[in-house]
Chains A and B, each alone.
Chain A
Amino acid sequence: MLFYLFGAVAIVASLLVIAQRNPIYSVLLLIASFGALSGLYVLLDAPFVAVIQIIVYAGAIMVLFLFVVMLLNAPHEDTEEDLETPGVERRQLAGAGVRRFGGLLAVGLIVELWWALTKNGGESGAFPAPSVASVAAIGRSLFTAYAFPFEVTSILILVAMVGAVVLARREPITRSPRRGSPGSPDVP
């Protein structure tokens, strides 16, 4: 029963994410979807993953998205400027074609994935009795069998941090030979 509730919330929230025009509402709806997914992880006897989902995804990555949306003052899609630039009818026709393609692709994907994931000989796929997957077991496995990916992940995060800082840095403003002239930009 809870599965249907969480599943419905996840699907509806995800649909609204891609249907919303306002990017802030999209981010907030995605957070709601992540909350529902976290509930599903709890139902699947994975409390650690559920809490990590909230901490990392809903609590950190989405805050990053929200900051960027606020920093850029992200405009809504299809604002008035969009509608006034030339070629708008062609873009709208192309848009309709893309939307139809997107819808067909989605339906096709659902059918194909559903077929591929469940062709396991026709068993109903019921879950076995709950196994004890405690946090200690995860930790033990993470540091023994998966120790190398763990260390590589830390390097990946370092690279991502450095990359993000460098890419988002304001370009160093090339100084004119006369400093202090009126109109020279301030130090960022």
Chain B
Amino acid sequence: MIPTLNHYLLLSAILFAIGTAGVFVRRNLITILLSIEIMLNAVNLTFVAFGRALGSVDGQIIVFFVMTVAAAEAAVGLAIVIGLFRHKASLNPDSFASLKW
């Protein structure tokens, strides 16, 4: 059947849930950042779907901004991961549980 708006919203809800589960379940800093990217993409899909349904171009413009913010956040997040890895050669967030550097 022809995909309606609800199909796209369900798809993006599933992707968002997968991303959230990834953030909680995985014990690897880089995979956690990847799961955050999945969540941002799910939100992008919602925006574009609603933009199409309401016939406005605003959805695509907000996606433009979300992508930019995601790029900036990925860059800084990865720089932090590099700094943490240099201090203690582990990518497991449990190793950074104490406040002592």
A residues whose Cβ falls under 8 Å from a Cβ of B: 3-4, 7, 10-11, 14-15, 17-18, 20, 23, 26-27, 30, 33-34, 37, 40-41, 43-46, 48-49, 52-53, 56-57, 60-61, 64-65, 68-69, 71-72, 74-75, 77, 82, 91, 95, 98-99, 101-103, 105-107, 109-110, 113-114, 117-118, 124-128, 131, 133, 137-138, 141-142, 146, 149, 153, 156-157, 159-161, 163-168, 170
Contacts and interface: CB of A to CB of B under 8 A. Distances in A.
Contacts of A30: 34, 37-38
Interface string B63-91: 11101111111111011111101100001
Q: Main secondary structure on chain B at its contact with chain A?
A: helix
Nearest to A146: B61
A65 B64 contact: no
A32 B42 CA distance: 14
Contacts of A114: 9-10, 13
A18 B31 contact: yes
3 interchain residue pairs of minimum CB distance: A160-B72, A125-B5, A18-B22
Interface of B: 2-11, 13-22, 24-28, 30-31, 33-35, 37-38, 41, 44-46, 48-49, 51-53, 55, 57-61, 63-65, 67-76, 78-83, 85-86, 91-92, 94
A57 to B, nearest CB: 7
Contacts of B49: 44
Contact of A74 (B17, B38, B59, B91): B91
Given A77-B28, A77-B31, A113-B16, 13 more contacts: A10-B11, A23-B31, A72-B91, A91-B94, A95-B27, A102-B22, A105-B21, A110-B10, A128-B55, A133-B60, A160-B72, A167-B80, A168-B83
A15 B34 CA distance: 12
A65 B34 contact: yes
Contacts of B53: 125, 127-128
